[in-house]
A and B are shown apart, each in its own frame.
Chain A
Amino acid sequence: MISCVPPPPAVAVALTGPPAAVAPAVLAPDDAVLLERAAAGDATALDELFRRYRTVAYRVAYRLLGNEADALDAVQDGFVNAVSHVARFRGQSSFRTWLLRIVSNAALDLGRARRRRLARTAPGCPSPDELTLPAGDPDPDAGLRRQDLRLLLDKALAQLPLAMRQTFVLHADGGLTYREVADALGISIGTVMSRLFYARQRLRTILGDQVDA
């Protein structure tokens, strides 16, 4: 990740004019407009886009990677690619759908790179996965705390095939409809149905009764 100095906080300006009731209502700019402006170098537009979609992008990336730092890197890559390739956004889908597709692809790319990195771990050295994921079955007497449950879910998601995992995460965490997932991934809605159904079946098998709890 590139090191950056955080931007200075925004300065609130007190208005001395009439109350806000007489001021005309200002509609929030459309995503496509913000995207065009951000691509042209408008930092304010980029700020607004980032504020709107950073959380959902992070959720998708995190579910695909199971690691906060990697997920933030995927979010960064996704925003950079989305804004710098604005010409490819033809408005046939929403910006949210388009961005989540880019972020999920960036996350999968990072995941592949991480697996290659893990494959190069010297014998006898702990791998990063061993440091971030539970090593074995959790202690049944202590119960699963929230963090443990999350790590268990991350591990279960990691066992799904890539395409199935991407489809499931875009729907469950990205909040995309079946149709939007189909558009984002370029597959039929029947394939989306099938992948989601079998992803849930597998997760249920892996997680056991945790889902029903």
Chain B
Amino acid sequence: MTPNPDGPLPWLAARADGELPPAVAPNLDAWTAANPDAAAALRTQESLAASNRGFWRAVEPPAPSEAAWASVRCSVGRRLDDLRLAEAEAVRRSRIATARLTRFAVAASVALAVGLGIWAGAGFSPNAVPALRVPASDPLADFAVLPMAERDDVAVYSASGDATDRVLGSASPLWDGLILATSEDVRLDGFMPPTAPKPKMTSGPSDSPMIYAGRGRSP
């Protein structure tokens, strides 16, 4: 406990009231026992405390009537009931507001989902882009394989075996038509990018050589 800046008198008054903290009382008692002035001051405070109590008892406040008490009790109950009703109403309003907010959030979510669906369905899906970009007039769209090229369409720059003899001995190695040339036999320079797959040439159902298209159709 901090020392009282007002001096020892408040401590003596507290001692007279029997209210001094137990940790302090022995020290104060020792001090008053050793100091006659302090002992006299303590006796004065004890006398004052007794007279104060007597005076206080003599001037009791006027007692309210039972009707007044009943009125106060009734008012307390009624005000508490009103407070409880107001609190319940506030809770009810809060729940209604929460339900409204939930419904609004659900409606907004549904609207957003539907909007996204329409947006995606209108052609903005990444998967739909290549299909839309295929030109409707693609001349090769209806062909699973390329038809065999005509003789004038094919330029032979190298040949092997019998074909070499024809290149060296006659004007055109295609005089009798290409026979079962493979992709190793035909090179299409300047037509496909180097990384593009090479056209496949094989025999057709009627022993006619066929050139299958590579993957990319645009130059």
By a beta-carbon cutoff of 8 Å, the part of chain A in contact with chain B is 1-7, 38, 41, 43, 46-47, 50, 54, 58-59, 62-63, 68, 71-72, 75-76, 79-80, 83-84, 146-147, 149-150, 153, 172-173, 177-179, 188-190, 193-194, 196-198, 200, 204, 207, 210-213
Contact B84 A63 (CB under 8 A): no
B1 at the interface (CB under 8 A from A): yes
Provide 19 A-B residue pairs closer than 8 Å at the C-beta atoms, listed in order of the A residue.
Answer: A1-B72, A1-B75, A38-B80, A43-B77, A46-B73, A46-B80, A50-B76, A54-B72, A54-B73, A76-B76, A80-B80, A146-B59, A178-B19, A193-B14, A193-B19, A198-B10, A207-B55, A211-B48, A211-B51
B169 neighbours in A (Cβ, 8 Å): none
Contact B72 A75 (CB under 8 A): yes
Known interface pairs A80-B79, A178-B14, A197-B10; A72-B64 also in contact (CB < 8 Å)? yes
Q: How many angstroms between the C-alpha atoms of A3 and B4 in the bound complex? A: 49
Which positions 1-58 of chain B face chain A at CB distance < 8 Å?
1-4, 6, 9-11, 13-14, 17, 19, 21, 48, 51-52, 55-56, 58
| Chain B min CB distance to A122 (Å) | 29
Q: How many angstroms between the C-alpha atoms of A194 and B13 in the bound complex? A: 9
B1 neighbours in A (Cβ, 8 Å): 188-190
Q: How many angstroms between the C-alpha atoms of A54 and B64 in the bound complex? A: 11
Contact A41 B71 (CB under 8 A): no
Q: How many angstroms between the C-alpha atoms of A150 and B62 in the bound complex? A: 9
A173 neighbours in B (Cβ, 8 Å): 56
A61, closest chain B residue (CB): B61
Contact A4 B62 (CB under 8 A): no
B3 neighbours in A (Cβ, 8 Å): 190
Q: How many angstroms between the C-alpha atoms of A207 and B64 in the bound complex? A: 26
B55, closest chain A residue (CB): A211
| Chain A min CB distance to B51 (Å) | 5
